[in-house]
Amino acid sequence: MDGKKQNSAKLDTQPTKNLDKKPVDLSGEQSGAESDGPAEDTRMLASGESAVLANGGNSAVDAPEEAKGEEQESWGSFAVFVLKLALVVLIFRSFVFSPFSIPSESMLPRLWNGDYLIASKWPYGFSKYSLPFDIPIIPGRIFASEPERGDVVIFKHPIDGTDYIKRVIGLPGDTIEMREGQVILNGTPIPKVRIDDFVIPQSANTNCAWGAVPETNADGDEVCRYARFKETLPNGVSYDVLDFGSASRDNYGPRIVPEDRLFLMGDNRDNSLDSRVPPAPKGGVGLVPQDNLVGRATIMMWSTDGSAEWAKPWTWFSAARWDRIGNTL
């Protein structure tokens, strides 16, 4: 632009200076002066384009590489986030709280098939059974603490490693005996009082066992009725149990609980494979080592009657037993 202004100035002044001399040859030097401007501009443009190609051209080539690098960095950050989240979940489930489900009726009337509960992991210490897949990185049991009579505990089956849930009845040194369905602890019968019957609706998760009386209630629903009793341990802990009547496991012992072992029973006395039955895969548990303890049942987080279908989302809610959710154990 400056070159064009200078040329315009020459065109304005030269005719004035040359009035007394000779006519300006517009096709001569003056035309040559105008032609120098575009040539110079062309050279400058060419020079600029060369500079762009020399400098900016590399940026254009590098742009996809930079974008690729940023994408890789983004995925790397996401992977780190996922790993950190997985580590937090692992620590939380191993040492704080962990969910468990109830797949049977051995703990009726307190726990129903289809209940989902949260267990606290710290009350009895930590062992390899506290970790996912029973990873053997914890020697023995650390920060060990003995449960109390009446605690509802989750533990690993001594033979097949399955998660089981039962109630603590006998501690190390206790003498356990059972006569005609009456538990005798250290020579003293545990108080057992008949209370109102236990009635539970029949569902996909609940059928009437042999000790139940099938009925139809006033609403037309099929239910199961069981005889229910309340037991009270020497430490004052009370809980309800079911008793079907005379059964094969109504007599046991006497037996002294060895050191570091526990005598555990299901509240559904005639429908429970517990410490009265010798340990066998998918069977009885015998006297359970305390090292096999996983946690203490704490709170109910969900309960379903088993009628829900994944393809029908509304049944997820209709199948829920809302009155059981949030109950403490």
CB 264 within 8 A of CB 166: yes
121 catalytic residue (yes or no): no
| 166 classed as catalytic | yes
Q: Any idea what DSSP says for residue 268?
A: B
Alpha carbon 296 to its chain centroid, in Å, reads 18
**136: which strand partners?**
none
Token pair belonging to 77? 């950050």
Q: How far is CA 92 from the centre of its chain?
A: 9
Of the candidates 315, 271, 312, 262, which has an alpha carbon nearest to the alpha carbon of residue 292?
262
Which is the catalytic residue, given 130, 156, 166, 203? 166
Distance in angstroms (rounded) separating the CA atoms of residues 316 and 329: 24
Q: Which residues pair with 206 in a beta bridge?
A: 203
Contact 155, 301 (CB under 8 A): no
The H or E element containing residue 59 is helix 56-95
Number of H helices, E strands in the chain: 4, 17
Determine the Cα–Cα distance for residues 116 and 320; give it in Å rounded to an integer: 11
Structure tokens at 294: 């996983």
Catalytic residue among 106, 127, 272, 303: 106
Provide the pairing of β-strand 213-216 with 222-232: antiparallel
Is 112 within 8 Å of 105 (Cβ atoms)? yes
- Asked whether the beta carbons of 267 and 115 are under 8 A apart, the reply is no
Compute the distance between CA of residue 2 and CA of residue 15 in angstroms, rounded to an integer.
Answer: 21
- For the record, the structure tokens of 84 come out as 């950190």
- Catalytic residues, by residue number, are 106, 166
